[in-house]
Amino acid sequence: MKQIIEIVPNFSEGKSKAIMEEVIAPFKGLGGTKLLNLEMDASYNRSVVTVIGEVDSVVKGIVESAEIAVRLIDMREHKGEHPRMGALDVLPIIPIQGISEEECIELSYEIGEAIFKKTGIPIYFYALSRKRPQCENLPDIRKGEFEGLAEKMQDPFWRADYGDVPHQSAGAIAVGCRKPLIAYNIDTDSPSKKKVLRIARRVRFSGGGYRYIQAGAAKLMDRNICQVTMNLTDYTKTALYQAYEAVKMEACRYGIEITASEIVGLVPKDCLLSSLRYYLNKDDDENLDLKLEEIVELVKKYLKFRDFSVEKIIEYYLD
């Protein structure tokens, strides 16, 4: 059985399609890989790329892509709603087929070292690849962002695993093996970032909410609305419907309505099915025999998904 991994590199460029086409070029035409998705967001000034494929090919592609990103993305000029500390901000690695988490952790060390040697960008290993407890959660590493990185790295507690000082224009990168993470945003009808941040604080774990929700707020200037931005770090423990309904409930106190929600990147089919069981009044262990197209229509109905199709479901590429 071939060893298949997924990587979801996040780049700090969401406005220039020309730049991102150069950044993702190494994955095009590369045998053994599929470039599944490029999602650009101008308000966040960030792009999320999804690649799946055989280990050696994916590693070759991401190292080359990182080199291009360092050359083309200057963090000294970067402005956007999403927290960030580097040109290639974070590189998650997810085992898909024929490879264990332990093997993926070792692979993350190899990739981090290779990128550091090629670019000189400091590397933090995070999530399952962390070498120190404080590096488990990405928001903790990224706190202070690019602008505060030089001062942060002077503290021995926050030294990088590779590198002593930030790259002058490209910052630092977090690299790590992790379980599938669901990047999930909920659109509100409110232009008040202050109010939406209060909602986010109540649903996230650090504010007394769900254990596996990280949440914040972002203003989408082009639409004059705010989003609750979330990462579900273990969707088997905290489901999409729980995040959605929690935000909906907390929004009520401000008279704020949910207008839509979105998945950033790809999502496993079982993540969607777990929420559909709730809305369809099924037990957790009940089988739902649904085609991908049927799943898409149902999540649009119950979770108000926008810009969603079968191409956003991982199994579409594996079946």
- List the structure tokens of 46: 């960030």
Who's near 180: CB < 8 A, 6+ residues apart?
A: 94, 235, 268, 271
Q: Which amino acids are annotated catalytic?
A: 82
Cα–Cα distances (Å) from 180 to 51, 128, 177, 269, in that order, read 13, 12, 9, 12
Name residue, tokens 């931005």.
229
Who's near 217: CB < 8 A, 6+ residues apart?
A: 193, 196, 197, 199, 200, 226, 227, 228, 229
The Cβ-side half-sphere exposure at 80, using a 13 Å CA radius, reads 27
Any idea of the CA torsion for 11, 14, 19, 24, to the nearest 10 degrees?
Answer: 50
CA pair distance 280, 293, nearest whole angstrom:
17
Q: 125: which strand partners?
A: 175
154 burial level (CB within 10 Å; 0-12, 13-18, 19+): exposed
CA pair distance 49, 103, nearest whole angstrom:
22
Number of neighbours of residue 156 by Cβ within 10 angstroms: 6
Name residue, tokens 């406005």.
15
